A and B are shown apart, each in its own frame.
Chain A
Amino acid sequence: MAAFRIREDAYAWFSNVEKTLPNGTIFDLYYFCAVTGLVTGSSDDPVRAGMPTKEMVDYFVNDYKPSQSFLLAMLVIAELKKRKVDLSEEEEVRSTFRELIGGNGDSYLRDEGTRRLNAYASGGYDYLAERFDQKPQSSEEFLRQFADIVGKAAREGPFASS
Chain B
Amino acid sequence: MKINIAGWSSEGLRCPDVDVDLRQDGGESYHVALLQMPNGTGKTTTLEMLKATLSGEGASWDETKVRAMRRKDAKHSTGRFKVRLMVDGKPVTFELELDFVNGRATSLTTRPGSGGLVRGWKPLPEIRRFVESSFLNLFVFNGELANELFLEDKAKAEDAIDSLCQLYLVEDIMDFVEDSFDTAIKNATGPKSSQALLALRRKRDELRVRKAKLQRMRTKAVQDRETAKKASEELQARITAKTSGHEKDKAAHADAKVAEATAKAAVESARDLLLQSLRNPLSFSPAIGAKLVNWKNCLDELKLPEATSAQFFNDLKKRTECICGTPMTDVMREQISNEARLVLSSEETGAMNFIKSEIEHYQPKAGEPSLNDVMLDRLAALSTARRDHLKASQDVRTYWRKIVDAGGEEVKEWEKQQKAHDAKCGECEDLIRDIDDPGLNVRTGEIFSLARIQREIDDASKKIADATGTEMLRAKTAAVTKIIRRAEELARRAIKTELVDSCNRRLRQILADDPIALESIDGHLVLAGQERGSEAQTLSVGYTFLMTLLERGDNRFPLLVDSPVGKMDGTVRRAVGELVPTLCSQFVTFVINTERPYFVPALKRAARDVLHLTFFRQTPGTQRLMAGLPKTGVTRTADGILVEDEAYFEAFDMEVEGR
Residue numbers of A with Cβ under 8 A of B are 6, 11, 21-26, 28, 31, 35, 38-39, 54-56, 63-64, 66-67, 69-74, 76-77, 87-88, 90, 93-94, 97-98, 101-104, 108, 139-140, 143-144, 146-148, 150-151, 154-155, 158-161
Contact = CB atoms under 8 A, between A and B. Distances in A.
Contact of B348 (A55, A67, A101): A101
Nearest to A146: B278
B281 A147 contact: no
Given A69-B359, A70-B281, A77-B292, 9 more contacts: A28-B279, A67-B280, A69-B355, A70-B282, A70-B292, A73-B295, A93-B302, A98-B348, A144-B274
A93 B298 contact: yes
A25 B279 CA distance: 12
Contact of B298 (A87, A98, A161): A87
Interface in B270-305: 271-272, 274-275, 278-282, 284-285, 287-288, 290-292, 294-296, 298-299, 301-302, 304
Contacts of A101: 348, 351-352, 355
Contacts of B267: 140
Nearest to B352: A97
A144 B449 CA distance: 31
B280 A66 contact: yes
Nearest to B310: A98
Complex A-B, nearest 6 residue pairs according to Cβ-Cβ distance, in ascending order: A154-B285, A102-B348, A69-B358, A87-B298, A54-B442, A69-B355
Contacts, number: 139
B287 A155 contact: yes
A73 B279 contact: no
A97 B348 contact: yes
Contacts of A108: 351, 354
Interface in B341-373: 342, 344-345, 347-348, 351-352, 354-355, 357-359, 362
Contact of A147 (B299, B348, B362, B375): B375
B555 interface: no
A90 B299 CA distance: 8
6 contacts: A39-B281, A67-B281, A88-B301, A93-B299, A108-B354, A147-B375
A159 B271 contact: no
Contacts of A148: 379
Contact of B275 (A21, A155, A160): A21
Given A69-B358, A74-B288, A90 B278 contact: no
A38 B302 contact: no
Contact of A140 (B294, B295, B382): B382
A33 to B, nearest CB: 13
B383 interface: yes
A60 B290 CA distance: 23
Contacts of B278: 143, 146-147
B359 A70 contact: yes
A11 B379 contact: no
Contact of B287 (A11, A70, A160): A160
Contact-residue size bin, chain B (C-beta under 8 Å from the other chain): 35 or more
Interface in B491-542: none
B386 A140 contact: yes
Contact of B382 (A35, A88, A104, A143): A143
A143 B271 contact: yes
A144 B379 contact: yes
A66 B382 CA distance: 24
Contacts of A26: 441-442
Given A54-B444, A69-B354, A159 B362 contact: no
A71 B351 contact: no
Contacts of A55: 442
A94 B275 contact: no
Contacts of A69: 354-355, 357-359
Contacts of A38: 281
B230 to A, nearest CB: 26
A104 to B, nearest CB: 7
Contacts of A140: 267, 271, 382, 386
B347 A23 contact: no
A155 B285 CA distance: 8
Nearest to B277: A147
Contacts of A88: 298, 301-302
B448 to A, nearest CB: 13
Most buried by A among B274, B287, B344, B359: B287
Contacts of A23: 272, 275
Contact of B302 (A70, A72, A90, A151): A90
Given A54-B444, A77-B292, A143-B382, A70 B358 contact: yes
B445 to A, nearest CB: 10
Contacts of B288: 39, 70, 74, 154, 159
Interface in B379-403: 379, 382-383, 386
B534 to A, nearest CB: 34
Contacts of A72: 351, 355
Nearest to A139: B271
Contacts of A64: 279
B345 A11 contact: no
A154 B294 CA distance: 15
Contacts of A158: 291
Contacts of A39: 281, 284, 288
A79 to B, nearest CB: 12
B359 A77 contact: no
B279 A31 contact: yes
A87 B295 contact: yes
B442 A56 contact: yes
A102 B280 contact: no
A102 B347 contact: yes
Nearest to B285: A154
A131 B375 CA distance: 21
A66 B165 CA distance: 49
B287 A154 contact: yes
Contact of A25 (B301, B342, B354, B441): B441
Contact of B347 (A24, A90, A103): A103
A94 B602 CA distance: 87
